[in-house]
Chain A
Amino acid sequence: MSSHINHHLISVENISKKFKRPRSFKKENGFIKNIFQRDYKKAVDDISFQIDEGEMVGLIGPNGAGKTVTLKMLSGILRPDKGNIVIAGLNPYKDRKKYVAGIGVVFGQKSQITYDLTPLDTYGVLKSIYKIPDNIYQDNLERFCDLLEVGGYISQPVYSVSMGQKVRAELVCALLHSPKILFLDEATIGIDVIGKEKIQKCLRELNKSDKLTMIFTSHDMKDIENTCDRLMIIDEGKMIYDGSRELLCEKYSSQRIMEVEFEKPQKDIRLDNVICTDSENNPMSKYLHYNHSDVDYNEMILKLMNEYPVKDISIREPEIEYIIREIYKKNGRNL
């Protein structure tokens, strides 16, 4: 199997993982059978990919798509039922101790920083756990606290700092032992836009300066858009897209949305090849969805201006979120 030389930092071959699901009682099975019956759900279904050093990859998918399970298999928490994972020459599950010494993980919902103590207390424990030499610990502590602006509250109990500050302190935890790979699972959950941008900027800097490889999962497409060059889209345990962000946009770039504001509320806009939806925030506005290659702009706008009391028009490029929703829809039809 390993006859070919592995050039990739992360190499994942055909991994699958299924879980026991809470049993659903079915009448036709009878009581006893129901009690002993097990349902299985495929959380990850035959996924393969390679990631090189220094890449920033975003794993995208709706709740329950399998992205967190994939991340847990990559970080050595879960063992795949089938398939192979080799990262930096190690098997994350079998060589756990050696492997996790070289990775950093941030789970947005589960914090590794002690809530009642100061960030500095937690860093001290991590120093012992990872056996970080004094000089490296001091250097890293200074550098990352500076970069992520943790210095100001490093000696304050964590319960007294803001959510954004906490996540930044948490990131320092994951970086202290100079990892080669960083996994971030919904890391910026619950932070405001400015806080998020600050973190995204830091991560990009680290990626550039240290060639740190990063793998993200997030619900928030903006998060991923701002940091990752490569996207992997997972749905129902299957990989449905793996490629660059640009390619994804290009592929679907013929989709356009036009926001039109009217003098007074309109019921429906009837134009050829155009789908009309309501705007959520403005009762006077409508969204017009159309395919850029299907319509004649002159004709469309003329008709719009002539037949409706138009006040303002703006055209938007599709957002990744919209594109992804389209992909899911298509995926659903093909299945």
Chain B
Amino acid sequence: MSDTVLELASITKEWFGVPAVSDLTLTVPRGNVVGIIGENGAGKSTLMNVIGGVTPPTRGTMRLKGEPYAPGAPRDATRSGIAFIHQELNLFTNLSITDNIFITEYPRRFGMVDHRAAMTQTQALLDRLDIRHAPETMVEDLAPGERQLVEIAKALHRDADVIIFDEPTTSLTPRETARLFDVIERLREDGRSILYISHILSDVRRLCDKVAVLRDGRLVDEGAIGDFDIARMIRAMIGRELSSLFPDRSNLPSGQVMVQVDGISQPGVVADISFQIAAGEVLGLFGLMGAGRSELARILFGLDPAEKGSLSIDGREVRGAAMQRIRDGIAFVTENRRSEGLLMDAPISENISLATIGHIGRGPVGLLDREAEQALAEQARSDLSIRASDLTRQPVRALSGGNQQKVVIAKWLAASPKLFIIDEPTRGVDVGAKYEIYALVDRLAAEGNAVLFISSELEELIGMCDRIMVMNRGEITATFDPRETEPRFEREALLAAAFGEIVT
């Protein structure tokens, strides 16, 4: 018999009369992992904020361990035994692991901080989680995955009954993810309850006992994981049937080599990278975090230097700074669209024209041709179906992740490039919009461009690419071409290459 730890009864949260969560009833049994899924804006964060005491519900009640639970502030939630592990971790990187765990309440002895007791207790927590670092290690010296484990240690220290994870794996390597899952497994056996929010449905399937699907603030589907396959999850999330996760590729690569990369090396970053991309080809680049994928992309785009090697497009060598390379036909959709791809506070039209702004200058002083700019934005809107109300006034900040990504792509399309370097284009984008971005990638290839598709999601590379190249520690360890091998792509072989193990 599994007793209930957390009970939500008819929770509604309205913002200025608009419900973000409406009439939601959910129970969380002890020792269960409950997956919470839904598209961006479905109400997941609002719901978590209600549980975490950040904002009170407009209507409805909660019970925690049988007692009425109505936190007035995040502090109350922590005291009642709810821990929240955010996407962006709340750690003091300039302090040690021990300090981070005890920051709110150090053990005392004779009125003084008892460092020894703090250290011993920390060591015990670290042992429980298999963290092989000394308690006095500075958090800044830890990898992202290890930092997250420190957050979990904090939650354990406070003896939290309910631990909420919000997209915990976005910045983790596969190895760190596997370790996190082990830890979650152990927490469950320990009798703690987990709320696990994620966009990665295969993880949810693997990890959770129960799934709750949110759409437009409502609980639209709920059930034991045994009854939930990924198709049902997607159907519930988007409210319609999605025939498949990936569009069919509409073309085959032409036989003609368009992009030629020869022996690019930069000590400590990448070594002797050579490859070719044909016109109309999507070449995948897979690797673990830190394998040098994004670093290679920055070198190809002229943002970072390379000691040796060359890049040519259609037989013409490309060199110089990013500005020059844009003119020579390279586009770079960066991994981090907020900090590197967009001017978040500028209107959509100004973002779309940024890379080609030189073309809409008129006369000797370069007067802006606003009509041309607007026409460009209008064309991009209809072409890529960007959902926006006012192109010249609405800042991109106000758009959803998927539409923001479309704005980045529109910016590059305006420069009519030949080589698209696309780095993690679907990160933080919900399922429906992912499909649209895949369709765009397909279109870029179908129009005869070369695409270098960098991703750490193996599924999307397998779904979209003509060939997949794997990097490990700055080197290309393997290239998989399904035209030569059957079956299409082998997951195990790809992963093995990424981990740098011998492939036979």
Tell me whether A and B are bound partners. no
Contact surface of B with A, Cβ cutoff 8 Å: none
